[in-house]
Amino acid sequence: MTPTRSFGRIAATALVLVVFILPPLWLLASALKPQAEIFQWPPTLWPEHFTFENFEKTMSRANFGLYFLNSAIVSVTSACLSVAMSVMAGYALSKFRFKGDTLFFLLIMSALMVPLQIVLIPVFLVLRDLGLLNTLWGLIIAPAATPTGVFLMRQYITGIPDHLIEAARIEGTPEWRILLRIIVPLALPAIGTLLAFNLVWRWNDYLWPFLIVTKQEQWTVQLAIANSIGRFSINWPRLLSMTVLSILPMFVMFVALQKTLMNGLMAGATKE
Amino acid sequence: MKMMKRSALALIAAVALATPVMASQLQLGWYVDGDEQEQKLRALLDEYTKSHPDTTFDLQITPYDGMSEKFRQYAASGIMPDVSLTSSMEPVIRPFLVDWAKVNGADWINQFVKGWADGAKLGDQVIAAPLDVTAVGIFYNADAFAKAGIALPQPGATWDDVLPVLKQVSEKAGVRFPLVWDVSAHRYLTYQFQYGNHIYSEDAPIKVAMDDASWVKVLKQFVKITEDYMPPGLWSGSSSDKPYDMFVNQQAVAYMSGSWQIGSFNDNATFKWQAGPTPKGTVSSSNVGGNYLVAFNTSKHLDEAEAFVTWITSPEIQAEYAKMFGLLPANKLAPSVDYSSPDAAAAVKGFQADLENSPRYAATDQAWPEMQAGVWDAVKASVTQVVSGQVTPEEAVASVHKAAEAAIAASQ
Amino acid sequence: MSMGDLKQQTKPAGTGIGDVVRAVGRTSWPYLLLLPTVALLFAFTLYPLAQGLWMSLFRRGLVVVPQIPESTPVFVGLDNYLQLIGDKDFTVALIRTVVFVIIAVPIQLAAALGLALLLAPQSRFNAIIRTIVFFPSMISGLIIGVIWAWLFARNSGLVNYALSLINIPAVPWLEQDQMAQIAVVVAWVWGSAGFNMMILIAGLTAIPKDLYEAAAIDGTSRWRTFTRITLPLLEPSIVVVVVLGVIGAFQVYEIIVSLTTGGPGRATVFLIQNIYETAFKKPNQAGVAAAQSGVLFVILMLLTIVQLRVARRRS
């Protein structure tokens, strides 16, 4: 679709911007206010007493950089693992007819259909038995299989014309090559999107760190944020400033990812 | 023979030298209210290690809301720390708790504030060590009273006396609301206590001791108070108004909360505040709360764990602990705490007196383990549902009664 | 990336690893591809899930401790399921959730579609707007609820404050029964719009440009282009949005906890909250909670199968 600079389009975009920018703006602005001002009345959107003290306090807290590092390691590794597995599984489910294909698909989807919270104990015991407690590997592997990712890739790869694959098979191309050289490049928009999703999902994971990690050295950012919520009060300055800092890398990553993969697509591949 | 003896000695010496003297690292499960608390806690632990070099600590901080899940995990997996902070001892974890009566004698528990100490008893056993106590009570914005030219309430004043005064102060001093109240079953229950109502019998065997008619009358009174004096919708159950922040931001003349706020008011309030006197109903009552320390009998360092807990609950350390965290010591024998400000010191004294003067059932209701089995939620829901018009007060009280009975049945 | 390149890179038949794989047969290839996913899912999700559903056949608490004889599960067969029929809390929560799904998912789709069509064209500006729209997915449900609660707080919220400046009295956005339901829909759609928008944009970029060019040359109207080209080719992505939307809407919980805590009173207690309360707050009812989860599971499985069938038939 060629972008048209119609008035309607600009107006609509402006409306979207207003509706969606207010909350992040509030978050950022509140993180820049001193504690007393955050919930004062009348409320202020932009800080009256602009201050960086919340951020300073948060960043000077011992181990702060470590939490970020842990989160980064876990998110990137798990996301890559996850996307690879989703592409493979999605490809299998969309382009092959084999015994049990529907069953496997429904099995994978069924993982989304029951609230995990009431089976936390069995999950914990599995983690213990596999020796994954108190390890970063536990945080990487346990959530790596994502039914949503599989579903997404399955749907997207369905749209890749069969004849491309058939032709390659007739040529004698090995299966793994077909996957790597035909499917993956054509599925790049979905892969990029899924990579972004996974990075965000793993970065925001709270369940797995809660179950797996007890040592503060292995805390992720989410655990640190959750511990801003005390028994009787919420440490808003810490919660807000840490959330803002937590979002920044995701924000940057997201914008960058869109440009690179969209450009990659525009550069060449057309489907015929 | 001599040769063998010498070799044997040499062997023993070699083994003794090769085996390092292991320092015990105690794993502590703990929840904190903020960074400063954690730093202070670590400082306290360091102090212990200085005088007991064999004991070091691995502090495992968990959010308060996650503690009950953690306890379930401990019970199911057998993997647990050595010591943990907790506010209640759930049934699943009880078999794993060290009996302090065995460790420190049956009289040891009697040095602690009675209401809270009773909650640590399970039959003949003492399954937890009281660490600190909290008391429910009211805070006043003294500056607002001064600005309005009205005197602060006196001890012995009733709600009927105090509420209109709060309204006057709010109008004269230009404060938005007369009263804010923590939206919690624990704080609401205090109001019922003040009219002689309580949920369970004071003595064993446990029975539901609710006079439904009286409960309904008091509930109606409370709902009227929320309508006339509190921010609209505060007790609707979905209000996002934050009583603490409203009081600190001087949007409320009075705040019904508890002693744990003393520390943070000291730090954050930019106005003169006063703790209590809390208005009374037909009787004067507060409500007790606090924390316990439990030690787990699966610990590999049981002696060190027991020694640590005994240390931190001893009178001198209790005074230090209370001062550090702005809490009331659980140990009655603790020397007078030297709080940093006279306001705080007066507040603490007032709250401690309130606890002493509360009727017996204020303590026993809390102490019954059955309270943990869904009764708190029923109490809170009874108020929020009446305020939002979903049930009648009679139905609400009946559902609390039912939940209380169900809890007893479930524990049989 | 053309067919010519591939030709040159392929080795002649009879040499290399490719032959081994081909020899094993194309039949085992899909299984191999699925293996990592299924293995991990089984260990960390499906096996515990099965244990959870198994719990529904017993009267028991969440934890079974050998030292506490009372915690031993008691087999009750389908009793827990049968009891659900008369369970008012459960049926009310279920109906409320179903109504929510019926209302919120179509709105969700429309919003995501609109956003996708608006923001799909490539430009740096659009990339930033897309990121802002995606923002709710970057934060925890707690913060989303906090933000909306702050906006709509009756006495301290920004919206009511703005209204008060033009002399409109405070509106109980969150504290009145029907309004709270609307607030939940709004917060949920807002919270997941970005995620679904990205899925649809990925689908939109897969549609070949020349189709649109051909339609433009033919003089096809915008609406016709949309319904005859865009929508049908976008269908696989739309199926994702709808299926995931239904599954997600049935399990809405986190956002409600921080927005209304299930209030006012109990007006926004949905299915998942009821399940958690049954499992965690009531003594010895983990089996009942598991039965409720079992009912949810069956509903979702049936709905998913139906939706996928319908989708397959249309394509």
Mean pLDDT by 10 residues, chain C (315 residues): 44 60 73 95 94 93 87 92 94 96 97 92 85 87 81 82 85 86 91 92 86 85 84 90 96 88 89 93 89 96 93 72
Q: Tokens 């906890």 appear where?
A: C257
Asked whether residue A171 is domain-assigned, the answer is: yes
SS3 B181: strand
Q: Which one has a higher pLDDT value, B2 or A237?
A: A237
Q: Report how many domains make up chain A.
A: 2
Q: For residue C201, give the CATH number of its domain.
A: 1.10.3720.10
Cβ-contact C56, C282 below 8 angstroms: no
**Chain A, window 230-249: residues with a beta carbon less than 8 angstroms from a chain C beta carbon:** 243, 247
Residue B133: phi and psi, rounded to 5, are -125, 160
Q: How far apart are CA B276 and CA C4, in angstroms?
A: 86
Query: Are residues B172 and B293 in contact, defined by beta-carbon separation less than 8 angstroms?
Result: no
Q: Using the beta-carbon criterion (under 8 Å), do C71 and B92 form an inter-chain contact?
A: yes
Closest Cβ–Cβ partner in A40, A57, A226 for B249: A40
CB C67, CB B93: distance < 8 Å: no
DSSP characters over chain C: --HHHHHHHSPPTTSSHHHHHHHH-TTTHHHHHHHHHHHHHIIIIIHHHHHHHHHTTEE--S---TT-GGGS-EE-TTHHHHHHTT-HHHHHHHHHHHHHHHHHHHHHHHHHHHHHHHH-S--HHHHHHHHHHHHHHHS-HHHHHHHHHHHH-TTT-HHHHHHHHTTPPPP-TTTSHHHHHHHHHHHHHHHHHHHHHHHHHHHHHTS-HHHHHHHHHHT--HHHHIIIIIHHHHHHHHHHHHHHHHHHHHT--HHHHHHTTT-STTTT--HHHHHHIIIIISTT-HHHHHHHHHHHHHHHHHHHHHHHHHHHHH-
Q: Quote the DSSP letter at residue B112.
A: B
Q: How far apart are CA B89 and CA C21, in angstroms?
A: 59
Mean pLDDT of B184-194: 94
pLDDT tens digits, A160-183: 899 999 999 899 888 888 999 999
| Neighbors of chain B by Cβ distance (3+ pairs < 8 Å) | A, C
Final residue of a structural domain among A12, A31, A51: A51
Q: Report the alpha-carbon distance of residue B70 to residue A210 in Å, rounded.
A: 9
pLDDT band of B39, cuts 50, 70, 90: confident
Token representation of residue B284: 């004067």
Q: So what's the pLDDT on residue C233?
A: 87
Residue B382 at interface with chain C, using a CB cutoff of 8 Å: no
A174 and A248 belong to one structural domain? yes
pLDDT(A4) > 80: no
Q: Which of A26, A126, A168 sits opposite C48 (nearest CB)?
A: A126
What residues does B273 pair with on adjacent strands?
B141
The domain spans of chain B are 5-134+289-355, 136-287+358-411
**Average pLDDT, rounded, for chain A:** 86
The pLDDT assigned to C88 comes to 93
Query: Are C46 and A110 inside 8 Å of each other by CB?
Result: yes
| Per-window interface: B 170-229 vs C, CB < 8 A | 176-177
Checking A3-11 for CB contacts under 8 A at 24+ apart, the result is: A3/C121, A3/C122, A3/C123, A9/C118
Q: For the whole model, what pTM was predicted?
A: 0.88
Number of separate domains in chain C: 1
Per CATH, the architecture of B136-287+358-411 is what? 3-Layer(aba) Sandwich (3.40)
DSSP per position, A72-94: HHHHHHHHHHHHHHHHHHHHHHH
Closest Cβ–Cβ partner in A36, A210, A226 for B268: A36
Residue C88 at interface with chain A, using a CB cutoff of 8 Å: no
Q: Which of A53, A116, A124, A130 is most worth mutating to test chain B (most B CB atoms within 10 A of its CB)?
A: A124
Q: How far apart are CA C121 and CA B37, in angstroms?
A: 51
Q: What is the pLDDT of residue C24?
A: 62
**What amino acid is encoded at B348 in this protein?**
V
Number of A to B CB contacts under 8 A, please give it.
75
Q: Can you tell me the mean pLDDT for B26-35?
A: 88
Instruction: List B residues 222-251 in contact with C (Cβ-Cβ < 8 A).
Output: 231-234, 236-242, 246, 251
The rounded distance, in Å, linking the Cα atoms of A230 and A238 is: 11
C272, part of any domain: yes
Residue C180 located in a structural domain: yes
Q: Which of B272, B221, B264 is nearest to B243 (CA)?
A: B264
The pLDDT-based confidence of B326 (bands split at 50, 70, 90) is confident
Q: Is residue A249 part of a domain?
A: yes
* Shortest CA gap A65–chain B (Å): 16
Question: Could you tell me if A209 and A256 lie in one domain?
Answer: yes
Q: Which residue has the tokens 């709902």?
A: B223
Question: Which of A252-261, B160-169, B173-182 has the lowest average pLDDT?
Answer: A252-261
Inter-chain residue contact C53 with A89, CB threshold 8 Å = no
Contacts 24+ apart (CB under 8 A), B43-49: B43/B324, B44/B312, B44/B320, B44/B321, B44/B324, B48/B308, B48/B311, B48/B312
Across B366-383, average pLDDT: 88
Chain A partners of C47 at a C-beta cutoff of 8 Å? 122, 126
Same domain, A32 and A153: no
Per-residue pLDDT band at B143 (split at 50, 70, 90): very high
Is residue C16 situated within a structural domain?
no
Query: Measured between CB atoms, which of B33, B60, B72 is closest to A231?
Result: B33
Q: Compute the distance between CA of residue B206 and CA of residue B199 in angstroms, rounded to an integer.
A: 10
* Residue-range definition of the domain harbouring residue A19: 1-51
Q: Per the CB < 8 Å rule, is A250 touching C44?
A: no
| C102, part of any domain | yes
Nearest to B240 among C61, C71, C150 (CB): C150
Question: What is the ipTM score, two decimals?
Answer: 0.88
Please check whether residues A30 and A86 belong to one and the same domain: no
Domains B5-134+289-355 and B136-287+358-411 share a fold: yes
A44 and A80 belong to one structural domain: no
In this predicted model, what pLDDT tens digit does every residue of A129-159 receive, in sequence order?
999 999 999 999 999 999 999 999 999 998 8
Q: Is B176 on the interface with A (CB under 8 A)?
A: yes
Return the CATH class of domain B5-134+289-355.
alpha beta
Domain CATH number, residue A87: 1.10.3720.10
Mean pLDDT of B57-74: 92
For residue A56, being part of any structural domain is answered with: no
Place of tokens 């999700």: C45
Residue ranges making up the domain that contains C306? 79-314
Distance of CA B355 to the CA centre of its chain: 12
Q: Which of A156, A92, A161 is nearest to C27 (CA)?
A: A92
φ/ψ (deg, to 5) at B294: -120, 145
Q: What is the mean pLDDT of residues A247-267?
A: 71
- Most confident range (mean pLDDT) of A209-218, A228-237, B188-197 is B188-197
For residue C253, list chain A residues with Cβ-Cβ distance below 8 A.
115
Contacts of B231 in chain C (CB under 8 A): 154-155
- Would you state the pLDDT for residue C99? 97
Residue A215 sits at the chain B interface (C-beta within 8 Å): yes
